[in-house]
Structure 1
Amino acid sequence: MPRLHVDLALAPGLETPLPAGAARHVQVLRLQPGQAVTLFDGRGCDWPAEILRMGRSEVLVRVGEPQSVERELPVAVTLALGMPANDRMDWLVEKATELGAAAIEPLVCERSVLRLAGERADKRVAHWRGIAAAAAEQCGRARLPRIAAPRGFGEWLRERAAADGEARLVLSLADGTTALAQVLRTDPRALCLLSGPEGGLSPAEDAAARAAGWQPVTLGARVLRAETAPLAALAAAGVLAAGG
């Protein structure tokens, strides 16, 4: 059954036209009145719906009773990462959504190639949120990851100091690291993983994170790409939190 993300206030019995993107999806699939689709708004439920009418550009549906869906990780994982350049960030957002990230916080670091601000940043965040919605449609998630606006590393580190109740880990190439798997076996309920851009965090950024209480961890002897390292850490967190 087609599954569609809609930014609507859904309610049982509601008859409503689908947003333009979802309507186009239904038309491309050549669905007809009387056929069923599943809607979700990213807040934790799937909503069965019936197509009532197909117009040239409008698709009218009737919404049924919500069905609670729980496919989130046992541990809420925030990925804070120096944005990789070009389409690598798009790929990272897609895969992080599939792997269950609760939030993605893009950072501009000393070694960042991609630097976004103002209207350009707003457009890119909207683009990433669309990618996350499409990934959630495909993988069955009923909640969307929160995707924050890009921030400078120093500003973000100061603001993050106020967050409570989470384990804070920085993926580091410097000395003094602990294996990520060892830390995750302490069974944190919430986790923030900090990862650098191409070339990694600078020595000054790595030192600042450690001074702010971030525990340096390693994924092993190999050096992973900027878009691979946070996903590998996220996958490890999901497996270990599930008792793997």
Structure 2
Amino acid sequence: MSNLRFHHPSALTIGTHTALSENAMAHAVRVMRLKVGDTLHLFCGDGFDYACALTSIEKKSAQVEVLSRKAIECESPLSIRLLQGISSGDRMDFTIQKAVELGVTEIYPLSTERCVTKLSGDRAEKRTEHWQGVAIAACEQSGRAIVPTVHAPLSLVQCLGQHASPETLNLILDPVGAQRLASFSKPQQMIQLLIGPEGGLSAAEIALARQHHFQSIVIGPRILRTETAALTAIASMQALWGDF
């Protein structure tokens, strides 16, 4: 049971007592049936895992004592920013979950011409909060102790205006792209990977990205679904230049 691992929403300090989050409490106490004295691990996003012991369990809360901490060294040597066209249904959740498992640094959901799902206002805020929860759960599962940020949705134009730079390696997955990842040297700078939604990026959007220093790449002769495309590209990067 000492392998149980949960995210904690605030900083942790050795020797102090803290309450488990509602989600951690529900899983540790109600699902896994931990008792006072049992141990578990918490992480708060600072790169450490904290060994903790349950000290009290109430009907709606549980307290732990923070016993020790250990540096977690499983972050990818690559800094990958995923610019992902918003997909519908569970596809976006799946893409975020697996991208975090594969080591991305941060994720920008993008509203593009062919996005089926349109988000704004409260709906966008709630969806962003949900996606951040997906990223946190993926860190719990994969052992990461630094949580990638899932940013609020932006339009493609906004994102390119804010983040496109010749100082980053900017790549766009394009079915007619002429270059393959293997043709690039191992990057020393941040990688920005732009992926379209289910219907792909329009010709105008691809042209706009190229104007903002993005280079078109292709991965194999087959057209991939949006969730497959993102994950295949990230996995290929890790295999070529990262820690696979």
TM-score interval, smaller chain: over 0.9
The residue that corresponds to 1:19 in the other structure is 21
The answer on 1:156 being equivalent to 2:159 is: yes
Residue from 42, 46, 50 that aligns with 2:45: 42
The SS at the match of 2:40 is: strand
- Structure 1 residue 243, shift from structure 2 partner: 6.4
Q: CA deviation at 1:182?
A: 1.8
Q: Is the 8 A contact 2:166 2:213 kept in 1?
A: no
Q: 2:125 aligns to what? A: 122
Task: Name the SS of the counterpart of 2:80 in structure 1.
Answer: strand
Find the counterpart in structure 1 of residue 179 from structure 2.
178
| Contact kept in structure 1, 2:112 and 2:155, CA below 8 Å | yes
For residue 64 of structure 2, what is the aligned residue in structure 1? Answer: 61
Name the SS of the counterpart of 1:64 in structure 2. strand
Matched, 1:101 2:104: yes
**Are the aligned partners of 2:186 and 2:241 in contact in 1 as well (CA < 8 Å)?**
no
In the TM superposition, residue 235 of structure 1 has moved relative to its aligned partner by: 0.7
3-state SS of the aligned residue for 1:154? helix
Q: How far is the alpha carbon of 1:133 from its aligned partner?
A: 1.0
TM norm structure 1: 0.95
Instruction: Give runs of ≥4 in structure 1 deviating > 4 Å.
Output: none
**Ranges in structure 1 where 5+ consecutive residues have no aligned partner:** none
Amino acid at match of 2:110: L
Number of residues paired by the alignment? 241
Residues of 2 paired with 1:53 and 1:165: CA distance? 52
1:82/1:197 contact within 8 Å kept: yes
* Residue 79, structure 1, aligned to residue 85, structure 2: no
- Identical counterparts, % of pairs: 39
Secondary structure in 1 aligned to 2:10? Answer: coil
Q: Distance in 2 between matches of 1:243 and 1:143?
A: 17
Task: Name the CA shift for 1:45/1:165 in 2 (closer, same or farther; >3 Å).
Answer: farther
Q: Paired residue for 2:234?
A: 234
Asked if the contact 1:78–1:193 (Cα under 8 Å) also holds between the matched residues in 2, the reply is yes
Aligned-partner SS, 1:21: helix
* AA at the equivalent of 2:128: V
- Which amino acid counterpart does residue 227 of structure 1 have in structure 2? E
Residue 6 of structure 1 is matched in structure 2 by 8
What does the per-residue CA deviation read over 1:178-211, in whole Å, with 9 as the maximum and x for residues that have no partner? Answer: 012222x333332010011112110000001111
The amino acid of 1:4's aligned partner reads F
Q: Which residue of 2 aligns with 1:215?
A: 215
Would you say the 8 A contact 2:114–2:198 is kept in 1? yes
Tell me, yes or no, if the aligned pair for 2:43 and 2:50 is still in contact at 8 Å.
yes
How many angstroms does 1:48 deviate by?
Answer: 0.6
Q: Which amino acid aligns with 1:14?
A: T
Match of 1:144 in 2: 147
Residues 82 and 112 of structure 1 are in contact (CA less than 8 Å); yes or no, is this contact kept in structure 2?
Answer: yes
Letter in 1 for 2:129: A
Give the SS at the match of 1:65: strand
Letter in 2 for 1:48: A
| SS of residue matched to 1:237 | helix
> Which residue is 1:190 aligned to?
190
Aligned mates of 2:13, 2:78 — CA distance in 1: 29
Aligned amino acid, residue 53 of structure 2: E
Structure-2 change in CA distance of 1:152 and 1:186 (3 Å): same
Report the RMSD for the aligned CA atoms in angstroms.
1.4
Q: Is the 8 A contact 1:73 1:241 kept in 2?
A: no
Deviations 1:117-163 (A, max 9, x none): 111011001111111111111111111111111111111111113x5
* TM-score (norm: length of structure 2): 0.95
In the alignment, the residues of structure 1 paired with residue 10 and residue 196 of structure 2 have an alpha-carbon distance, to the nearest angstrom, of 36
Q: Report SS of the residue matched to 1:49.
A: strand
Q: Is the 8 Å Cα contact of residues 174 and 218 (structure 2) preserved in structure 1?
A: yes
1:164 Cα deviation from its structure 2 partner: 6.5
Q: The residue matched to 2:68 in structure 1 has which SS? A: coil
